[in-house]
Amino acid sequence: MDKDALEVRLGLIRDSLGKDTKLVPRKYKNTLGQQVITKWRYRKKAYNGSSMLSDKCKSRVQLFDDLVQESSDSFPEFRLHDTQALLERIRLIQNHTRLLLVEWDVRWVNPPSLASKGWKPYQGRSHPHAVFKCCCCHAIMSLQSSKNDDISSNYNKKLNEKIWLSNVVGNHLQQCPWGKKQFDLDKEYYLNPQNLITDIERIHTDVEKFSSESKEFHLKRNSSRIFHYLTEIEMKKLAHFFNCKDYSLVGLLLLGYTKFEKDDLVQCTACFHRASLRMLEHIDFNGHALWCRYYSKKLLSKMLLELIDKKDNAITTMGVGERLNKLETVLQIL
């Protein structure tokens, strides 16, 4: 290489070093949580005889089994924390038994408790009893229908711990995970401050959905009776929180209901009992099942109002500096 050519190349290198260079994307370290999940998710696996890899490669590359994938392949419907799947099973059970006289009890045997152990209706040929099938091991279980004029009536009145243990828990096949595990109804189904967000999302989504429909969802006749248990100020706060001017709609959603097919018919989003708007206007009427998330009419509104008041107080009592510090802390966490 002659001297001039070398000078040119060195000049080019100097120029390129002087320019701003793009940073190589930084590789983020796995968080502690991810490391723990990875540790328990993957299990070392030996090469089997059919591997085409050379021995040299085998000594350098470790194979792993994905245990999460394996278990979801073996038990496809075992989703222990899937609230939507639970609600769908409750809806199917409620629809399946709507016309059967099954004597549910609040404590042990009812649609949420059956759904929490993986049961859904068995859609076979018509049967005088309510028949259920495990969504995972496909075991079959039946509950007798109550008949007021025969001895089975007494039997069904004692739907209790014994039936729970022998049928609901005991009827699963030995290897079925639903036999030992149960969806946590107290934590995920029944109302508590930790899952209140699901109701905020539900009401917010329904308000948006009904507001955007061309035919507006509105109630007829004295609709304020639907939220008679709230004062005007409380209702105003709640409607403002959901950014909705239609108090009747917010009142209906606060009771856990949503529109169902016809305009005058509504259906609960947790127990799937149905009612007409006219019935909801009766102060003493409670159309929810005893085991429903919304059985206590006032509970959801009370919890939301506490949340709103807490939020308002937090904003008004804090100075600007304090609020900025709080914002900084939140941003740091993000």
Per CB under 5 A, residues contacting Zn ion are 134, 136-137, 172, 176, 178, 268, 270-271, 288, 292, 294
Residue 168 or 305: the one with the smaller Cβ distance to Zn ion is 168
CB of 58 to Zn ion, least distance (A): 39
Buried (b) or exposed (e) across 187-216, using 16+ Cβ within 10 A? ebbbbeeeeeeebeeebeebbeebeeeeee
Residue 12 or 140: the one with the smaller Cβ distance to Zn ion is 140
Across the beta sheet with 140-143, what order do the strands follow?
Answer: 119-121, 130-134, 140-143
CB of 301 to Zn ion, least distance (A): 15
Q: Which long-range contacts (CB under 8 A, 24 or more apart) does 96-102 make?
A: 96/121, 96/123, 96/130, 97/121, 97/130, 100/129, 100/130, 100/145, 101/145, 101/146, 101/147, 102/130, 102/143, 102/145, 102/146, 102/156
SS3 120: strand
Q: Which residues pair with 268 in a beta bridge?
A: 257
Residue 137 or 249: the one with the smaller Cβ distance to Zn ion is 137
Residue 134 or 305: the one with the smaller Cβ distance to Zn ion is 134
Residue 242 or 272: the one with the smaller Cβ distance to Zn ion is 272
Residue 138 or 324: the one with the smaller Cβ distance to Zn ion is 138
CB of 190 to Zn ion, least distance (A): 12
CB of 147 to Zn ion, least distance (A): 26
Beta strand pairing status for 274-276 and 262-268?
Answer: antiparallel
CB of 137 to Zn ion, least distance (A): 3
Residue 118 or 246: the one with the smaller Cβ distance to Zn ion is 118
Dihedral sign, CA of 304, 307, 310, 312?
negative
CB of 139 to Zn ion, least distance (A): 5
SS3 12: helix
Residue 305: CA count within 13 A, CB half-sphere: 14
SS3 262: strand
Residue 63 or 139: the one with the smaller Cβ distance to Zn ion is 139
CB of 134 to Zn ion, least distance (A): 3
- At CA 237, angle to CA 235 and CA 242, rounded to 5? 95
Residue type at position 129: H
CB of 133 to Zn ion, least distance (A): 9
